[in-house]
């Protein structure tokens, strides 16, 4: 079936011609409830699928106002359904919505501290004031015995001295001993020259100490008092060896400043420097 469309001006001309001939304007076509041309029942005016809108008069081949549709209602309905499905999926996955504000640095710090502690049942860390008072302990709880010995030459005199070259040995020294013999000595060996400072913690007797440079030359001789925990630093920053002896030991043997100390007629740093474990 083909349809023939006529312009609005042609339709108007025909209507005027009908009126001049005494005819009446054509009445609008009213569809019956069941029209064979629609192929089914005509929807009722009370049906929710069809609601009459405002009149739309025909003007010059156009409607004066476009028919209002229901697209906005359908879009809002789809949006609500999508939001509902998203909430159901979120709850089903067991997720929790993120918090609106990040955790405070204090809370993060506490969390990190708990993680570092792990699964152990260690006690809580001590306060800062308590940890500041405690110091690392490197010395032994008892007196050292059977230390290695080395033959030394002080000037033209040959002696045998105990040697301390490891960290526990150097940290302990003469601690926990009851005294030192008039000819006993103890040599401390370091890996390089620097300023040194020795004290008398847990040493109940006085001693004399010689600060010696890398070449083995005595730079200073000082007296350390029994149980004095205040260190006596060297004036020179080139001290690599320290020799402890009984009071007046260096004076009795005329070992003064500038005296050379060596091993087998070789410099101390060449033979003993490589075995040092503390700089």
Domain with 178 in it: what CATH number?
2.60.120.1140
* Domain assignment of residue 205, yes or no: yes
What integer is the mean pLDDT of 93-102?
A: 49
Indicate the average pLDDT of the chain.
Answer: 73
Residues 218 and 269: their CA atoms lie apart, in Å, by: 14
pLDDT confidence of residue 19: 53
* Domain assignment of residue 80, yes or no: no
* Domain assignment of residue 215, yes or no: yes
Residues 227 and 28: their CA atoms lie apart, in Å, by: 126
**Helices H, strands E: what count in the chain?**
7, 14
Q: How confident is the model at residue 93 (pLDDT cuts 50, 70, 90)?
A: low
pLDDT confidence of residue 136: 79
> Is the pLDDT score of 55 beyond 60?
no
First to last CA, the chain: 110
What integer is the mean pLDDT of 47-64?
A: 49
Structure tokens of 86? 């998203």
- pTM comes to 0.53
pLDDT confidence of residue 16: 56
Q: How confident is the model at residue 81 (pLDDT cuts 50, 70, 90)?
A: confident
* Domain assignment of residue 89, yes or no: no
Residues 276 and 255: their CA atoms lie apart, in Å, by: 25
What pLDDT digit, counting tens, does each position of 233-252 carry? 999 999 999 999 999 999 99
* Domain assignment of residue 14, yes or no: no
Residues 218 and 209: their CA atoms lie apart, in Å, by: 10
Q: Token pair 């009071």 is at which residue?
A: 247
* Domain assignment of residue 9, yes or no: no
**Total tally of structural domains belonging to the chain:** 1
């Amino acid at each position: 079936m083909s349809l023939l469309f006529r312009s609005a001006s042609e339709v108007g001309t025909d209507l005027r011609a009908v009126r001049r001939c005494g005819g009446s304007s054509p009445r609008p076509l009213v569809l019956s409830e069941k029209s064979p041309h629609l192929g089914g029942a005509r929807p009722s005016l009370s049906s929710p699928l069809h609601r009459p809108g405002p009149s739309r008069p025909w003007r010059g081949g156009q409607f004066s106002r476009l028919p209002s549709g229901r697209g906005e209602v359908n879009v809002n309905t789809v949006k609500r359904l999508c939001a509902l499905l998203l909430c159901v999926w979120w709850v089903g996955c067991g997720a929790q919505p993120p918090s609106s504000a990040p955790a405070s640095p204090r809370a993060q710090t506490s969390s990190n501290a708990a993680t570092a502690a792990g699964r152990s049942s260690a006690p809580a860390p001590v306060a800062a004031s308590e940890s500041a008072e405690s110091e690392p302990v490197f010395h032994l709880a008892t007196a050292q015995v059977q230390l290695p010995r080395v033959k030394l030459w002080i000037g033209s005199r040959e002696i045998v001295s105990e040697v301390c070259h490891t960290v526990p040995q150097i940290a302990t020294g003469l601690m926990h001993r009851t005294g030192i013999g008039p000819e006993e000595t103890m040599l401390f060996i370091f890996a390089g020259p620097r300023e040194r400072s020795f004290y008398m913690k847990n040493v109940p007797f006085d001693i004399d100490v010689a600060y010696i440079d890398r070449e083995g030359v005595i730079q200073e001789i000082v007296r350390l008092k029994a149980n004095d925990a205040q260190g006596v630093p060297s004036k020179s920053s080139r001290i690599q060896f320290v020799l402890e002896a009984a009071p007046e030991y260096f004076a009795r043997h005329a070992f003064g400043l500038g005296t050379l100390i060596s091993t087998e007629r070789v410099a101390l740093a060449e033979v003993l420097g490589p075995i040092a474990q503390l700089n």
